[in-house]
Structure formats: structure tokens, C-alpha cells
Chains A and B, each alone.
Chain A
Amino acid sequence: MTEENIIELREVSKTFGSYLAVDNLSLNVRRGEIVVLLGQTGAGKSTVLNLIMGTTCPNKGQIRVAGFDPYASFKALKGRLSVSFQTDRLLPWRTALENVELGLLILGRPKNEARRSAREWLGRVRLDGADNKYVHELSGGMRQRVSLARALAIDPEIIFLDESFSQLDHVTSKTLRGDFLQIAREFRKTCLLITHRIDDALEMADRALVLSPPARVALEVRIDDQARSSSRAMADLHAQIASAMGAERSTDH
């Protein structure tokens, strides 16, 4: 494992019974990089995320995350990773502020410090004034913002976003992606995004990896500012990714 690779998978395979979910997958993510894993449903994206998170162990191969085996050294990565899920997964008995401070309290931060930090993060995701609102009093977009703030508040080295924007309407999703990108760049976070939406990848990623079942890298593309400034280059990338995903047309709306 090289120093600059914060996530590294080498020839990793995972089976569930006789079903091969991940087949000899190798990939790496550099510190501060934003990488998107793209793929249709069943391509093995979530299994790859679970392997990297250490919630499941591979049958073959080696995984290193921040220098640790994430499954064998599960607790060693406490506070170094966080996840924003497809649904907000907020605790309904806690207010927005209390939800954001949850990770900080689990890390053992003093209550006052956790509260102050949580309030700052709510402000960063543009939810000033929503501190004391319960989950049922928040809109879907606001809940997802709280969820993002919760993931960011513990100041992790790596953030995983598992289809975090896919259940939101187009406008809210775009705004939230923009806000997240700004924060991720400002704080130089390493991000691994899982999505089936090509537009999300083109907008956010430094690099996109297209997975085809059973979780093989079918295509790897780099997306830099030069490509983003050219609509033709973006259209070409879109077509390449869509082709690799095996889609006749984009699933984006």
C-alpha cells in the first residue's frame, strides 16, 4: 500500500453462498480525492462499500483503509470514517442538533464541545434555526442536510456517500451536491460516492469507476476542470459511462 492511497483493494472477492458479488476487484483512492463508484442495480456497489467499511469481510484479497484492515481492526477506524446513507437515518427522538452531535458524543467529545460543533455544522449545511426541530418537523431535503452534517461533524478522513442524493427531487439534490462539494473541497476530505446517476458522478468526481456485475471495474475515467468546462467533453464522458453501465440511455432525470 502506498502512502498516498488511503483506500486500497487488491484482488478482492466476495461471495454470498454460491453468488459471486465481487470478483477480483482492485482499486485505490488517494487522500483528498473524490471518487465515484457507478453501476446499475446489482453491480455490487453496496457490497464494495460494506467491504471498505469493514462491516463484511472478503473471501479473498486484501483491503487497507487508512493503513488498517477495516474488518479485523474495526474499532481502530473509529472517528476516521463516516457515512451518509441513501435515506437520512435520523433518530426521531433527537432534534436536528442532537442528531448532528451523535457521532461526536460516540467519539467521547465533551457535551459542550459536541453541541458547539454540531451547531456550526448545522450552519454550514444552511440549517441555522432548525436546531430544536424534531425529525418529523423537517422536509426531506432538510433531513438529508442534517444527515450530511452528522457525517461531516466528526471530521472524518474519509466520507462515504451511499446514494445520498438519489431520493431527493432534482433541484434539492443539485443544491445539496453543490453544498457538499464545497465543504468536501474546503476541508480536503477523501470521498467515495456510490451512485447509479451519471450526472452526480460528472458533477462531483475527480475519478469515476464504473462497476459491472460482479463488481468488476468496467471503465475508469478522470474528470478534471478542463473536461467540466467543455460540454462536448462532458457529453462524451456521459456516453462512455452510459455505455459501460450497459444502459441504453441514462437513468438520470
Chain B
Amino acid sequence: MSISAAAGQSRIQSGDAAKIAKPLAGFAGAWPNAESRRDIVATVVVVVLLLAAMEVTSRFVPDYIMPSPVAVWNAARELFFTDPYHVAVTLVRLAISVTIAMTVGVLIGLAMGMFTHLRAYLKAVVVIDTGIPALSWMLIAVFWFKNPEARIFFILLVILLPFYALNVYEGVRALPKELVDMIESFRPSRWQVLRYLILPHIVAYVFLTTKSVIGYAIRMVIFAELVASAIGIGARMNLAQSTFRIDQVLAWTFFLVILNVALQAFVNGLEKLFLKWRAEATVR
């Protein structure tokens, strides 16, 4: 009796462990393989060479042209204690803007894919939007909105939205007809087709778009802060430039590069988690 009870308990525990481990499997899968390790080594080599070039150059030019890596490191340490609030503000703006752009872009992309009578008009709006330079949107935002937050969200929304809308539209168009016929054979409602077929199918497209735009989004939020806000990393870089603190400008630049890499890794991890059903294809 006690043996079977213990065995039963053991099964429950291993089952629980499996349940806990399952969601983490996606992130575990993100652990670098041999090819990724080579990429990491190459990146480290390039960074070391860049730092060496900075060090050598800094010995021949004034500090306000090229500070030494040590000076930049010291500036970074100083910013770490004085400016975390600005980092947080930028990250929150980035997260909210990307989320809103993703949501609105996905809705527009779905509408383009599912409503033929709306498609041509929405497509025209999105294509015209892609043709408007980011700088024009920034200047327009300054005229249109008093609130700096509204300016930044508006700028990020109009710049990122077409990427999501067009990619999701392509995703809907790429739906295999065989699967559409299969689900139609059950005579579903439009909502059921969306829920069981279209939305799961476009998840991969949403991740692809997010990975593609994340670096661009960081650049745009910094630029928007520089033009339209007194707080955030962009605003602090503007201040550093106006006070001739190139060490701080470079420190912020390095931070933004690291932030981009970290966010890419985060999105990659989420992608592996959400698309765990996908077989990894390897081309020799």
C-alpha cells in the first residue's frame, strides 16, 4: 500500500515537474548551438577590435572627439546611478508603442486579408504611410500634439504599423487553401475561422515582424525623444551632445546596442516558446 502510494506520489511529482518544465522548454531551446557560439565569438572579437581602435585613436585626438574606452566605461557607470529613470521611461515607451503598433497593425492586416471590399482602401492607406519619411511624422507630431508622450506614441505607431499590417496581410494570403477547405468543411462561423485557423497561422508572421522592427523601433523612439521630449534616453543624449559629453553619447550608444541584442534574444525566446510546434528545418 505504502509502496503504491509512494509510486503514485512520485508520478504526480514528475508530472508536475513536466508541467513546470514545459513552458521553459522554449527558452531552454534558445541556448546557443555550435553555429550560435561561433556568432558570439565573432561578435566578441569585433567588439574587442573596436575598443582597441578607440583606445589607439583616443591617444592621438582630443577627448571631445574620441574618449578612451575607460572614459566611456566611467561615463556609463555614472549614468547607471543617475539615469535609470530615463532608461525605464524609454523602455516603457518602447513596449507600449510596439504593443499598440502590433495590435493595430495586426487588426488592419486581418481586415485587409478578410474583407475584400475594404482591402484596396486599407492597402492604399498603408502604402502611402510607408512612403512618408519618419522625419516628416516627427515634425507633424510636434505640430499636432502638445503632450510629449502622445507625440512619441503617435510617431512610433505610424512608423511601425505598416510593417505589421503588410506582413499579417501576407500571412493571411499565404494560408494554405487545403487548410481553409478543411475548416470550411465543418461549416464554422467567421469568428471560428479566425480563432482556429487565421490567428494561430499569423503568429509566426507577427514574431518575424517584431524581430525585424525591434532595432528600428529603438532608433525611432530615441529619435522621437530627442525631438519631442525632455525625458528618456534620446533626451539625455541630446543633453550630452549640447554639453560636449561625447563619453556619455558613446556610453548611451553602447547601451542601446546591448539593449537591441537583449530584446532580440528575448523575442527569439518568446518565439521558440510560442512556435514550439514548428519543426526546425536544416538546410545542408
A107 adjacent to B178 (CB under 8 Å): no
Question: Which residues of A in the span 108-155 have a Cβ within 8 Å of any Cβ on B?
Answer: 134-136, 154
- Give the complex CA separation of A94 and B199 in angstroms: 13
A135 adjacent to B277 (CB under 8 Å): yes
For A134, the closest partner residue in chain B by CB is B277
Q: Check if B146 is an interface residue, CB within 8 A of chain A.
A: no
Question: Which single member of A53, A85, A94 contacts B178 (CB below 8 Å)?
Answer: A85
A102 adjacent to B278 (CB under 8 Å): no
B277 adjacent to A82 (CB under 8 Å): no
Q: Check if B197 is an interface residue, CB within 8 A of chain A.
A: yes
CB-CB under 8 A from A106, the residues of chain B are 183, 186-188, 192, 196
Q: Check if A87 is an interface residue, CB within 8 A of chain B.
A: yes
Question: Which residues of B in the span 169-204 have a Cβ within 8 Å of any Cβ on A?
Answer: 178-179, 181-188, 192, 196-197, 200-201, 203
- Give the complex CA separation of A79 and B275 in angstroms: 31
- Give the complex CA separation of A85 and B279 in angstroms: 23
Q: Check if A72 is an interface residue, CB within 8 A of chain B.
A: no
- Give the complex CA separation of A134 and B192 in angstroms: 21
Question: Which residues of A in the span 65-119 have a Cβ within 8 Å of any Cβ on B?
Answer: 74-75, 77-79, 81-83, 85, 87, 89, 91-95, 102-103, 105-107
CB-CB under 8 A from B201, the residues of chain A are 93
A11 to B: closest C-beta gap in Å: 26
- Give the complex CA separation of A82 and B203 in angstroms: 28
CB-CB under 8 A from B184, the residues of chain A are 55
Question: Which single member of B179, B187, B275, B278 contacts A75 (CB below 8 Å)?
Answer: B187
Question: Which single member of B179, B185, B197 contacts A81 (CB below 8 Å)?
Answer: B185
B177 to A: closest C-beta gap in Å: 10
A82 adjacent to B186 (CB under 8 Å): yes
A82 adjacent to B178 (CB under 8 Å): no
Question: Which single member of B179, B275, B276 contacts A89 (CB below 8 Å)?
Answer: B179
CB-CB under 8 A from B178, the residues of chain A are 85, 87, 89
Also in contact, A82 and B185, with CB within 8 A (given A89-B178, A91-B179, A91-B200): yes
- Give the complex CA separation of A225 and B54 in angstroms: 90
| Dominant secondary structure of chain A at its interface with chain B | mixed
We find that the number of chain B residues with CB closer than 8 angstroms to chain A is 21
CB-CB under 8 A from B275, the residues of chain A are 93
CB-CB under 8 A from B278, the residues of chain A are 92-93, 136
A154 adjacent to B187 (CB under 8 Å): no
Determine the interface band of chain A, counting residues with CB < 8 A from chain B: 20 to 34
Question: Which residues of B in the span 78-112 have a Cβ within 8 Å of any Cβ on A?
Answer: none
B200 adjacent to A74 (CB under 8 Å): no
CB-CB under 8 A from A92, the residues of chain B are 277-278
For B22, the closest partner residue in chain A by CB is A132
Question: Which single member of B185, B196, B197 contacts A83 (CB below 8 Å)?
Answer: B185
A103 adjacent to B277 (CB under 8 Å): no
- Give the complex CA separation of A83 and B278 in angstroms: 26
CB-CB under 8 A from B185, the residues of chain A are 53, 81-83
B186 adjacent to A93 (CB under 8 Å): no
For B185, the closest partner residue in chain A by CB is A83
A93 adjacent to B277 (CB under 8 Å): yes
Question: Which single member of A55, A78, A85, A136 contacts B186 (CB below 8 Å)?
Answer: A78
- Give the complex CA separation of A103 and B279 in angstroms: 25
A66 to B: closest C-beta gap in Å: 13
CB-CB under 8 A from A102, the residues of chain B are 183, 186, 196
Also in contact, A154 and B277, with CB within 8 A (given A89-B179, A106-B192): no
B187 adjacent to A85 (CB under 8 Å): no
- Give the complex CA separation of A56 and B129 in angstroms: 39
CB-CB under 8 A from B187, the residues of chain A are 74-75, 77-79, 106
B196 adjacent to A105 (CB under 8 Å): yes
Question: Which residues of B in the span 4-18 have a Cβ within 8 Å of any Cβ on A?
Answer: none
For B201, the closest partner residue in chain A by CB is A93
A91 adjacent to B186 (CB under 8 Å): no
B70 to A: closest C-beta gap in Å: 51
CB-CB under 8 A from B276, the residues of chain A are 134
B277 adjacent to A85 (CB under 8 Å): no
B126 to A: closest C-beta gap in Å: 27
A93 adjacent to B200 (CB under 8 Å): yes
Give 9 closest A-B pairs by Cβ, nearest first: A136-B279, A89-B182, A78-B187, A83-B185, A106-B186, A93-B200, A134-B277, A106-B188, A93-B277
Chain A residues with CB under 8 Å of chain B are: 53, 55, 74-75, 77-79, 81-83, 85, 87, 89, 91-95, 102-103, 105-107, 134-136, 154
Can you name 19 extra interface pairs (CB under 8 A) apart from A79-B186, A93-B277, A135-B277? A74-B187, A75-B187, A77-B187, A78-B186, A79-B187, A82-B185, A82-B186, A89-B178, A89-B182, A93-B200, A95-B277, A102-B183, A102-B186, A102-B196, A105-B196, A106-B188, A134-B276, A136-B277, A136-B278
